[in-house]
Every structure is written in structure tokens, then in C-alpha cells.
Amino acid sequence: MPQPALLAHDLVRVLGGRRVLDGFSLTASPGHRIGLIGENGVGKSTLLRVLAGVDEPDSGSVARPDDLGFLHQEMPFDGDSTLATVLDEALREAREDLTELDRLGAELARVPETDPRHRELLDAYGRRLEQAQDREAWDADRRAALVLGGLGLGGVGHGRALGSLSGGQRGRLALAALLVRRPSALLLDEPTNHLDDDAAAFLEEQVRGMPGTVVIASHDRAFLDAVCTDLIDLDPAVDGPVRHGGGYRAYLSAKHAERERWERRYAEEQRELDELRRAAGVTAHRVAPDRGRTDNEKMGYGHRAGRVQNSISRRVRDATRRLEELERAQVAAPPLPLRFAAVDLAARSPEGPRPLVTLRGVRVPGRLALDALEVAATDRLLVTGGNGAGKSTLLALLAGGLAAEGEVRRRRELTVGLLTQDTVFERPERSVRDTYALSLGEVRAEKVPLESLGLMHRADLDRPVGRLSVGQRRRLALALLVARPPQLLLLDEPTNHLSPRLCDELEEALGEGPGAIVVASHDRWLRRRWQGRELRLEPDRDRGREATSVAP
């Protein structure tokens, strides 16, 4: 049975007076896995909600398969429901297929081939059989166990109430239910959140094996590169959203070339507009109609002057007409993209052989156990490990915000900055501009203007910080840190909620320079390119948490 396509035509969605979607169209055929990328706020989640039918567009239309699955749609279960209830619902369609095949098979056995109903029953049986094969209905129960194990839920009892699960576990369960169902179209919003390396690799394999359409909004560059057959960039472009074939690597090169074409086309049009304006406004006065005659031209002055003026008038009319046409259809100026512009993320500390921070035999019961760690004055240290391995705990300890057993020594007057995963500002009603100025002080804020760091759009500077997205709040928090660089900068999952391009630029800024930087991250793309030291935290049954150091 051919899988149905997912089609969207000329979608418009207005939120808060702003057109988040403006004439967006999409053809998503079976076998295509389409990634949606772009800055926070460009409409990735809004588009998924409209495609899923959770939100209605202000105009435009969507044709979707009946059995579409949407990851961030609320699970229709309360906290008292159990994991078994969720699995039963995920397996319901596959079990209905098998039950209906049994019924149709028995009916076919009773109805003679000469009976007109036999052909109808045979067609119905064939359609249901193809549907069951697409859903792999005979293997559904085994697949359910495989998916739960692959997403790290194999040890969770089926009688466990949903209310007792962590947020990460509930998110993985919602994802597992969709993979077990195998719908004809699958919409995923940040599916790798809360997944460790093994679970992310398992998800990649499962998504690549989906027979229907998959549309994914994700900041995970490694996932986009491994899974997607196409990428749609929702950031502003000269002709609207652009669809690129291939994964993230192919997108990077195509995006660079596309931006260069836009900038070149805009510059050429602006030059032509300037020339036309000069032609329309200046050429007409280049030969004045009342210019005095010379002795040599007295006889033919009137005739010659008339020809000149007619020629000038024609050129002015032509230039004016072309100017009006070009002004109506001219290419918009390429918006200045956010480009992370901080030169040094961390500041130089006083010279000397002593490390900035030394840990010996530290213990945070139930959260971290570390035999030894030294952070040097220009260190670049990546802290990795699975969920719950103690990465955030270690950063809080290095920042001095957490007490621990054992020896913790810091250089005197060491300045430390910590970017946490959860960014909250005490005065949510304050604007971005005022929050920045009041946090840094007027002198420092003027010396390092927020706009110069390339982390916030000018249009957002007067918005209350409480109305910013999670990604925007994190960018503001990062701006406050790098505007007055500390000697030791600690970044907890810094690429979470950032657009892929900003992640790339942040990684470049993490390279060599003054000061020390410690990054805790599960970002596989970042980790594959890391050039400094790595400290991997591993759970240890007997000793709580144990760390192993890996050479660059």
C-alpha cells in the first residue's frame, strides 16, 4: 500500500501580531526525512503544530495521513495511568490489524469464490494485509520491548505510574510510543532531548527505517546529519524558506553559497538603483534649456537644443520607469544574522604554575565522586558522561556554589562565570536592554554593547526578559558572562536551545585564548570536534561516581 504524502500549501500563522509562517508550502513524500532548522522563534515548533493539526493556520491548507504521529502532542493519559496503558494504546492499531485479518480470513473461507462478496472481501483483506505489513504488526510486541530498551526505559516496570516518572522519562516514553506505532507520517520536535549517546544512535536507526514521511525540528547537528534526506532553513532568505538536499554538512556549504548570492544580488540592485536615481534626477539638468548660445551655433540653436532636450526627456522617462519597477520588486536587504562576536570568552589570570582549581578526593553523596582534577590557567576541558553522571554537579562545585567532602582549592581572587541549563532572571518585567545594563553596570555595558556580541537581535532588546524563549534567555545569560570575561568560564550544555549556526560559531570561540573554559556537554557534534582535554564521568556501582580522564 503506497504511503500517503504530507502536503501543506501557503500556510500563514500569526502569533502576537507577528507572521510566524508567511505563505509556507511543503511536499513531504514517503521516504523523505526533512529537518527544520533556524533561529529560535522562526516558527519550527509552530509549523509542526500546524502540520499536526494541533493549531489551525490563519490561512492555507494541510493534507495529512489519518495516522500521523506528533511527538510533542500531549499524551492522552493522566498521572495515574501506567506505562502498560501507554504501550497498549501504541500497540492497539497493530493488534486491530491482526484481529481484522483473522476475521476477514475466516469470512473468505466461508464465502464461495462465485459469490460477488468474495471479491470485496479479498480486496479488503489485501488492503489490511499491506497495512499490517507496513506497521510490522506481527512483530509489534517484540518491537515494543526493543524500543523501550533502546531508549533507556527497559528497566522501568510496566505497572509504574506516569506521575512517578521524571520529565525525561516521560519524554522518552512518548517517543517510544510513536516508534512502536510506526505511523504513516511522524513529526518530531527536538526528539534527542533527554537522550544519551546510545539512545540517540538507536533513535537514528529507527527513524531511518520509517517507511513514511518524517519531519523533524532539531538543534542536534549530529542527528540532522545522520538522519535527514533534506533540510529546510526557516531563517530569512531572499526567496523565502529554502530546502536543501542532504544532511547538515551539505547544508553548511549550500547555506554559505546562498548567503553570498543574496548579498551579491542585493548589492548589484542597490548600485543600479543609485545609478537610476542619478539618471532621473541629475541628467535632466546636465544641459540647461536656457543655456546661452555660442557664436558657432546661433543659426541652428533652436533645432539642436530641441533635439537634446527630447533626448534627455526620453532618457529621464526611461530611467524613471525602470526605477519605479525596480523599487517595487527589489530584493530585501539580507538581515544581519546573529554572529557570535566575543573575541575572548575567558580572561587571563595571573601567571604562575599553580592551577586555578584543584580537587582531591571530592564527594557529593549520591551525585559525584572524583579522585583528582586540576584546571590550569588556559585549560580547555570537556566533561562528558550519561544523564545523571554528575556533569552539572561538577560545574557547580568548580563554581563554588556547592559544598563537597574532600579537598577543594581555588586561586585567591579567582573570577568564575557559570552558564547553567536553567536560566531565570529575577526581574522578568525588565527589558533585555535594561537587564544587561543593570547587571553589568553602565560603564561596562557601554564599553561592550549587547548588540556587538551577536547574541540578541536588535528587535528583542526592548522585550521583557520574561517573554523571551528559552534559547533567547540563555543567549542573554551568555552575553552577560562574556561581556566581562571571567578567568574560569563554566558552560553547562551551552549548545542547548541555540541554532545550529550559533553553535558552530560558539565552538570556534571556544578555541585557544586566555583564561580557562570547562564545558559539560552531551552534544555529539561538539564532542567529535573537541581539541582539548576530556573528562568522562561514569557511574560506578561501588563508589557512586567515578571519573576517567581521556587525552586529547
- Please give the single-letter amino acid code of residue 419: L
CA Rg, the chain, in Å? 31
Q: Could you say which residues of the chain have pLDDT below 50?
A: 284, 286-288, 301, 541-546, 549-552
Determine the length of the chain.
552
Phi-psi map region of 434: left, alpha, beta (phi>0 left; psi -120 to 50 alpha): alpha
Quick check: 344 and 513 in contact, CB under 8 A?
Answer: yes
Quick check: 158 and 82 in contact, CB under 8 A?
Answer: yes
What's the predicted TM-score (pTM) here? 0.70
What's residue 544's pLDDT? 43
What's residue 239's pLDDT? 67
Question: Look-up: residue for cell 539642436?
Answer: 304
Q: In whole angstroms, what is the distance from residue 269 CA to residue 252 CA?
A: 26
- Please give the single-letter amino acid code of residue 113: E
Angle between helices 248-281 and 301-329 (to 10 degrees): 150
521 grid coordinates: 556537554
Phi-psi map region of 313: left, alpha, beta (phi>0 left; psi -120 to 50 alpha): alpha
How many Cα atoms occupy the beta-carbon half-sphere of 393 within 13 Å?
Answer: 21
Q: In whole angstroms, what is the distance from residue 391 CA to residue 387 CA?
A: 8
How many Cα atoms occupy the beta-carbon half-sphere of 458 within 13 Å?
Answer: 4
Q: In whole angstroms, what is the distance from residue 121 CA to residue 23 CA?
A: 44
> What does the domain layout of the chain look like in residue ranges?
247-281+297-333, 357-426+468-550
SS3 339: coil
What's residue 550's pLDDT? 47
Strands (E) located in 138-261: 185-189, 213-217, 230-233, 242-245
The 3-class secondary structure across 219-237, one letter per residue, is CCHHHHHHHCCEEEECCCC
| CATH T-level assignment (fold) for domain 357-426+468-550 | Rossmann fold (3.40.50)
Phi-psi map region of 389: left, alpha, beta (phi>0 left; psi -120 to 50 alpha): alpha
Q: In whole angstroms, what is the distance from residue 365 CA to residue 125 CA?
A: 61
What's residue 406's pLDDT? 92
Q: In whole angstroms, what is the distance from residue 200 CA to residue 181 CA?
A: 19
**Residue 313, φ and ψ in degrees, nearest 5:** -60, -40
Provide the sign of the torsion angle of the four alpha carbons 549, 416, 466, 344, taken in this order: negative
Residue-wise DSSP of 61-121: EEE--TT-EETTSPPS--TT-BHHHHHHHHHHHHHHHHHHHHHHHHHHHHS-TTSHHHHHH
Closest C-alpha among 471, 433, 462 to residue 449:
433
Q: In whole angstroms, what is the distance from residue 64 CA to residue 55 CA?
A: 14
Quick check: 247 and 221 in contact, CB under 8 A?
Answer: no
SS3 477: helix
Q: In whole angstroms, what is the distance from residue 195 CA to residue 207 CA?
A: 14
What's residue 322's pLDDT? 73
